Amino acid sequence: MKPKILVSWPLKESTLKHFDPSLDYICIKDAARQYEECLEIINDVDGLMSFNLNVDQQLLAKGEKLKVVGNFAVGFDNIDVAYAKRHNITVSNTPFAVTVPTVELTFALLLHLTRKIGFLDQGLRQHSFTSWNEPSTIAYSLQGKTMGIVGFGRIGKATAKIAQALGMKVVYYKRHQLTETEEHDLAVSYMDIDVLFSQSDVVSLHLPLNQDTHHFIGDQLLSRMQAHSYLINTARGGVIEPDALYDCLSNNRIAGAGLDVFWDEPNIPDRFLALDNVVLTPHAGTNTKDARRNMLIEVHDNISSFFKTGDVISRVV
């Protein structure tokens, strides 16, 4: 008997024909009933390919034969990894495919803010400029400025390279500082988190969401930012305390924020929608055709590798 793999979203037969033929794939049929369908099927499968699915204790416990979960994302806060670990269920993610598209969106948000793209576009469409050189059109240059990167894994390091290509100085914060050799090779400097927030012209967040980082970015750190500085979040909404960020933005304590992730997705608080110093995107960091194709390949290869070799390529637990 082939190992059965539950795919938590509908996939076309034309896609499935490219998958490992030594595995048997079962796709849910109704995306609107994703969790319910998975709960009905999971007791009879050996593996789970998860996309936008709450893989909680109830779901994992019902998977009596479940051996591996492949998550279609780099983040895994949607999975009860502690329960999975206790019950010897391997969990994997897709860190490689998401890196470049997430960095692209990070700088798309930043440049939209600093170069006033939306404001200038609307001004031209509405014929509201008395002159193309009026003071309101003056933007903010990134060259020579300091970018502080919070969370310095694969995406943080890739972000640093693009920032440096734009002529920015890069400082970083992570729980475990890099070696001097690593910092030299990457041309970056470590800063304590409080100092980083106070000295950076741009703060870009690239840390995972977990028990330690939930609401990690609150008033204590945001209040240290300079009035001309910008905050970009393409990580997870929950790493920021929303009341503190709203207070900061609504009182113009910083110049603006670019947010791709939120606290209760897909809901965005109306108060943030009303702010004109915020650029918002709908968790679109990996929402390109190339990225989604590469992520699908990566999650597939993790599952296939597990049943061929006994281990995944990108292990979480």
Pick the catalytic residue from 206, 241, 283, 300. Answer: 283
Q: How far apart are CA 298 and CA 280, in angstroms?
A: 28
What's the one-letter identity of residue 305? S
Token representation of residue 222: 């945001």
**CB–CB of 203/230 below 8 Å?**
yes
**CB–CB of 171/188 below 8 Å?**
yes
Would you call 265 a catalytic residue per the annotation? yes
Q: Is residue 100 classed exposed, middle or buried when 0-12, 13-18 and 19+ CB atoms within 10 A define those classes?
A: middle
Q: How far apart are CA 256 and CA 271, in angstroms?
A: 15
Partners of 205 in beta bridges: 150, 233
Pick the catalytic residue from 236, 241, 298, 300. Answer: 236
Q: How many CA atoms lie within 13 A of 313 on its CB side?
A: 18
Pick the catalytic residue from 265, 271, 293, 315. Answer: 265
Would you call 236 a catalytic residue per the annotation? yes
By DSSP bridging, strand 47-50 and strand 278-280 are: unpaired
| Helices and strands, counts by H and E, the chain | 13, 12
Would you call 253 a catalytic residue per the annotation? no
Give the residue numbers annotated as catalytic, written as ranges: 236, 265, 283
